[in-house]
A and B are shown apart, each in its own frame.
Chain A
Amino acid sequence: MPRPTKGARLGGSPAHEKLILANLATQLFQHGRIRTTEAKAKRLRPLAEKLITKAKKGDMHNRRQVLTVVRDKGVVHHLFTEIAPTFAERPGGYTRITKVGLRKGDAAPMAVIELVSEPLNTVRVAKAPAAAEAPAAEKAEAPATQEAEETAEAPAAEKNDEATEAPAEETEDKKDNA
Chain B
Amino acid sequence: MRFSILISPIVVVALAFGFAPGIAQAQIEAEAPAQDDPLRGSVTDDSSDNIITISVPGLPTPQSAQTPAGSTDELGARVSDVIVADLRSSGLFRPLGRNAVRAISYDEVTTPALSYWRGRNNEALIQGFVRAMPDGRITVGCYLYDVVLGTELARQGYVVEPADWRRAAHKCADSVYSRLTGESPFFDSRIAYIAETGPKDRRTKRLAIMDSDGANHRFITNGQATALTPRFSPDYQSIVYLSFLNGSPSIYIYDVDSGRQRRVFSTSNPTFAPRWSPDGHFILFSMAVSGNTDIYRISAGGGEPERLTNAPGIDVGGSYSPDGSKIVFESDRSGAQQIYVMNANGSNQKRISFGGGRYATPEWSPRGDLIAFTRVSGDFRIGTMTPSGGNIRLLTNSWQDEAPTWAPNGRLIQFFRTARGSGKTSIWQVDLTGKNARQLRTPVDGSDPSWGPVLP
Partners in one complex: no
